[in-house]
């Protein structure tokens, strides 16, 4: 029996997607082999790859002057690739620090250029007002983490900056409409809203290509990769195929606009329940609450273990918060049905009545 999996990533996938993958795993469309076994240069795989890109472009309304790259190495790999592709060693980049992923991005970027933390919040429970950002003159780029997976805080708008805006959208890609044209670079690890771990999507505006440092590894040189259609070397073909199945599933859900409505409803329900409860608590500024990663605490962290274990026994898995901050976290990405949130709320009520 399938469970409701609240893991922050790798995360739940739609059962329909997994079922299709299962049906095709030994023999894809009569070719007598699995997609895993296909040459990345075969007609069959190239069709899969191109369709996936076309579907992603359609879903996200990606303008023509942006390239879509299918890379490896995760968002953490791009933490290095971004400064390598966009700056010189003597440059400065502005980073807006709103959570633990932003912190990691900054630590990695500091190897490659001067980082100016133009704004930060600590504890990570809000988004600093744009008017208070201390942006550098001539920054190579401005970096934000659109949704902080660990802290459950998210931008609810796209800041307008002079320097190209670079955003880590790993945990919110495809969950709500986003105006790609306002960004220079968008990037995301696949393992939350796209497919299995091992695929990284990078969306780059054409004018930002071709500036990579001489020591940029070839596989992360955006312009070299782009020229080859992300096939300069063997791409993670099976993850790419699964991303394609997810895109097609998402189109059947009414696309990003359709799923966004469901996501809004899921998040609203859960926050409303938490807020009216005297037992559970979420400290994030209401304006900037994540719709994907909902963090909450119990009145006594001694109860955390019992909460997670009892939830687990009810088929509500992986509700423990990130090891760095503790507490609880429900990651409710696109593949989490509303019924999963309902089941969670029902369990939370019962747990409260027993322990409140």
CB of 10 to a copy of itself, least distance (A): 6
- The reply on whether position 211 binds a copy of itself by CB under 8 A is no
Long-range contacts of 118-125 (CB under 8 A, 24+ apart): 118/94, 118/142, 120/96, 121/97, 121/153, 122/97, 123/283, 124/98, 124/99, 124/100, 124/148, 124/151, 124/153, 125/151, 125/153, 125/283, 125/284, 125/285
Annotated catalytic residue 264: no
| DSSP codes joined into one string, 44-76 | HHHHHHHHHHHHHHHHHT--TTEEEEEESSHHH
What is the residue-wise DSSP string for 152-188? TEE-SS----SSPEEEE-TTTTTTS---GGG-SEEEE
Cα(340)–Cα(6) distance, integer angstroms: 9
| Interaction between residue 11 and a copy of itself (CB under 8 A) | yes
Per annotation, catalytic residue among 55, 67, 94, 101:
101
How far is Cα 256 from Cα 276, in angstroms, rounded to an integer?
Answer: 30
Is residue 53 within 8 Å of residue 245, measured between CB atoms?
no
101 is catalytic: yes
- What is the spatial distance between Cα 193 and Cα 175, in angstroms, rounded to a whole number? 7
Q: Does 81 bind a copy of itself (CB under 8 A)?
A: yes
Find the shortest distance in angstroms from Cβ 11 to a copy of itself: 6
> Measured in whole angstroms, how far is the alpha carbon of residue 315 from the centre of its chain?
24
On the 0-12 / 13-18 / 19+ scale of CB atoms within 10 A, 133 is middle
Cβ 211 to a copy of itself shortest distance, Å:
16
Determine which residue in the list 65, 181, 233, 301 makes contact with a copy of itself, applying CB under 8 A.
233
For strands 200-205 and 66-71, give the pairing.
antiparallel
The contact pattern for a copy of itself, residues 265-284, with x = CB under 8 A and - = no contact, is --------------------
**Residue 343 within binding range of a copy of itself, rule CB under 8 A:** no
Stretch in the footprint of a copy of itself (CB under 8 A) among 13-21, 47-55, 179-187, 346-354: 13-21
CB 142 within 8 A of CB 135: yes
38 touching a copy of itself, by CB under 8 A: yes
Q: Which of 37, 91, 283, 304 binds a copy of itself (CB under 8 A)?
A: 37
Shortest spacing between CB 287 and a copy of itself, in angstroms: 29
Q: Quick check: 339 binds a copy of itself (CB under 8 A)?
A: no
State the minimum distance, in angstroms, from the CB of residue 196 to a copy of itself. Answer: 4
CA distance 254 to 191: 21
Strands 147-148 and 153-154: antiparallel
Of 28 and 66, CB closest to a copy of itself:
28
Report the residue from 62, 85, 92, 112 that binds a copy of itself according to the rule CB under 8 A. 112
Choose which of 111, 252, 261, 272 interacts with a copy of itself (CB under 8 A).
Answer: 111
The count of residues interacting with a copy of itself (CB under 8 A) is: 68
Q: Residue 159 interacts with a copy of itself (CB under 8 A)?
A: no
- The reply to whether 160 sits near a copy of itself by the rule CB under 8 A is no
Residue 64 is a binding residue for a copy of itself (CB under 8 A): no
Rounded distance between C-alpha atoms, residue 317 and residue 352, angstroms: 18
Catalytic annotation on 261?
Answer: no
Residue 76 binds a copy of itself, judged by CB under 8 A: yes
Cross-strand partners of 68: 203
Contact positions vs a copy of itself (CB under 8 A): 1-3, 5, 7-13, 15, 18-19, 21-22, 25-27, 31-34, 36-42, 72-77, 79-81, 108, 111-112, 189, 191, 195-199, 214-215, 217-220, 232-239, 242, 315, 317-318, 323
- Residues that are catalytic: 101, 168, 192
């Amino acid at each position: 029996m399938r469970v409701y999996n609240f893991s922050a990533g790798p995360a739940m996938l739609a059962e329909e997607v997994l079922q299709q993958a299962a049906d095709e795993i030994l023999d894809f469309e009569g070719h007598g082999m699995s997609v895993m076994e296909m040459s990345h240069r075969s007609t069959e795989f190239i069709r899969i790859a191109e369709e996936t890109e076309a579907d992603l472009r359609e879903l996200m309304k990606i303008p023509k002057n942006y390239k879509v790259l299918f890379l490896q190495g995760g968002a953490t790999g791009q933490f290095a690739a971004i400064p390598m592709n966009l700056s010189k060693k003597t440059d400065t980049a502005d980073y807006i620090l709103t959570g633990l992923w932003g912190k990691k991005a900054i630590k990695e970027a500091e190897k490659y250029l001067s980082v100016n933390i133009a704004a930060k919040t600590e504890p990570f429970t809000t988004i600093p007002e744009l008017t208070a950002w201390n942006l550098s003159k001539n920054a190579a780029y401005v970096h934000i983490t659109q949704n902080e997976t660990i802290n459950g805080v998210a931008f609810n708008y796209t800041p307008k900056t002079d320097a190209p805006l670079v955003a880590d959208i790993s945990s919110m890609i495809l969950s709500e409409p986003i105006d790609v044209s306002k960004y220079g670079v968008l990037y995301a690890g696949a393992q939350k809203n796209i497919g299995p771990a091992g695929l990284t999507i990078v969306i780059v505006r054409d004018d930002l290509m071709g500036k990579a440092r001489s020591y940029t590894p070839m596989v992360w040189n955006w312009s070299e990769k782009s020229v080859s259609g992300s096939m300069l070397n063997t791409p993670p073909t099976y993850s790419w195929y699964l991303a394609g199945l997810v895109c097609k599933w998402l189109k059947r859900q009414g696309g990003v606009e359709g799923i966004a409505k469901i996501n809004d409803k899921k998040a609203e329900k859960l926050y409303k329940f938490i807020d009216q409860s005297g037992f559970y608590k979420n400290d994030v500024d209401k304006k900037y609450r994540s719709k994907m990663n909902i963090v909450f605490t119990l009145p006594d962290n001694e109860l955390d273990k019992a909460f997670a274990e009892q939830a687990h026994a009810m088929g509500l898995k992986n509700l423990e918060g990130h090891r760095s901050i503790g507490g609880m976290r429900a990651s409710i990405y696109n593949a989490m049905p509303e019924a999963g949130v309902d089941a969670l709320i029902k369990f939370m009520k019962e747990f409260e009545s027993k322990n409140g």
